Amino acid sequence: MLRFRILARDGDARRGLIETAHGSLETPGFFAVATRAALKGLDTESARRAGVQALICNSYHLAVQPGPELVAAAGGLHRFMGWPGVLATDSGGFQVFSLQHGQVADELKGRRRLPPIEDPLAAVRVDEEGAVFRSWLDGSMHRFTPENNMELQRALGADLVFCLDECTPFHVPRQYTEAATERNLRWARRCLEAFSGGAQALFGIVHGGVYPDLRRRSAAGIAELGFDGFGIGDCLGETKLDWYGVVDLVRPLLPDDRPRHLLGVGEPDDLVEGALRGIDTFDCAMPTRLARHGQALHMGRPRFRIDLARSARRGEDGPLEEGCDCHTCARFSRAYLAHLLRAREALSVPLLAEHNLRFTARLLERVREAISAGRLRDLRTEVLAAA
């Protein structure tokens, strides 16, 4: 079950609302990454307090531990992790194939040949049927196919699910990218055929790497299949300008009445640039990852960051960011947070994570308001000037 309504437009940008069985997500919106059914360093109630509207979990990791049977027996991911809001799962394809792509890179550099699947040392192998991979937890072998991946995500019970796909990295040759793009399209058809629907919505994913003709071919094929929404994934290039070009190329080829999700992107300037290009939702582990490394998001700092361990202003009594309404900034000073980091106190992580997620939520609130006011380009100028 998914309903998408567009409420306002500003050029290619649109403000909207995604409605699911577990509530609504205002767009442009953000999925905070809860890989193993948990945000890194933050509980779900604190996440809601920070303005997080939606979470995305990883099917690969949850298949390995604790297993879909346990999650299903607990009533699905929402109940299992105590999250009442919008929830997505990705297929886990990126994690599966990142193992293989390390092997491909080695082969291209002439270090060693890829072992056959019978080789017990092989980490992962892909064929038309799917992918065989080794568990990071106990070394056991598993197979993902489009069909059993849809069954896995059905058991997990998220509102939005993504097709099984291979995400190719930048270093593979065009021939490899083309073969993977065509196979991903065939897998997408199989995912759609196996998808049970009901309360869930299925997103297809556009591939093609950095090759415009492959991107067009993939976008046209995925759009024709009629998914509930569309992800833009695969290798987006080496620079921000590269992924801007990919999105500009793909967006006109996708149905205007369906939500568009940009996979794995979430830096502050990326959120504004993506929204300008018609992206509705994003996901990225960046806010919580920065917190684990002692960094706070801040409008106006180099690259939107304060490194509390190194900042010359770490002894200041003021909040991380003036005007921030998060729980951390309301109660704790920059000096105290820097002390927690220097003392290696675990409390620093949830406090910084809540601030970083609130920063992201506040920025997207401004993006949505700017779209309604027809001034998103003015906001982009303001954000880029601050960085």
Q: pLDDT, tens digit, for every residue of 211-251? A: 999 999 999 999 999 999 999 999 999 999 999 999 999 99
CA 259 to centroid of chain Cα atoms: 14
Of 28 and 140, the structure prediction assigns the larger pLDDT to: 28
Question: Does position 33 have pLDDT exceeding 90, yes or no?
Answer: yes
The domains of the chain are located at: 3-91+145-284, 292-375
Q: Is pLDDT above 60 for 106? A: no
Mean pLDDT (whole number) for 100-126: 46
Candidates 208, 217, 213; CA nearest to 237 is 208
pLDDT of res. 115: 41
332: amino acid identity, one letter: F
pLDDT at 111: 43
Residue 311 scores a pLDDT above 80: no
Q: ∠ CA(328), CA(330), CA(334), 5° rounding?
A: 60
Calculate what percentage of the chain has a pLDDT beyond 90: 80
Does the pLDDT of residue 318 top 80, yes or no? Answer: yes
pLDDT of residue 328: 98
Q: How far apart are CA 387 and CA 384, in angstroms?
A: 5
* Catalytic site positions: 90, 283
Residue 41 is predicted with a pLDDT of 93
Look up residue 359 and give its two tokens.
């920063």
pLDDT averaged over the chain? 91
**Alpha helices by DSSP H, the chain:** 44-49, 59-64, 68-73, 77-81, 93-108, 146-156, 174-194, 212-225, 240-250, 268-276, 286-292, 327-331, 334-342, 348-373, 376-386
Q: Give the mean model confidence (pLDDT) for residues 295-315.
A: 84
- The reported pLDDT for the residue numbered 315 is 73
Res 13: pLDDT:
98
Residue 1: what pLDDT?
Answer: 79
Pick the CATH number of 3-91+145-284 from 3.40.50.620, 3.20.20.105, 2.10.109.10, 3.40.50.150: 3.20.20.105
pLDDT at 133 over 90: no
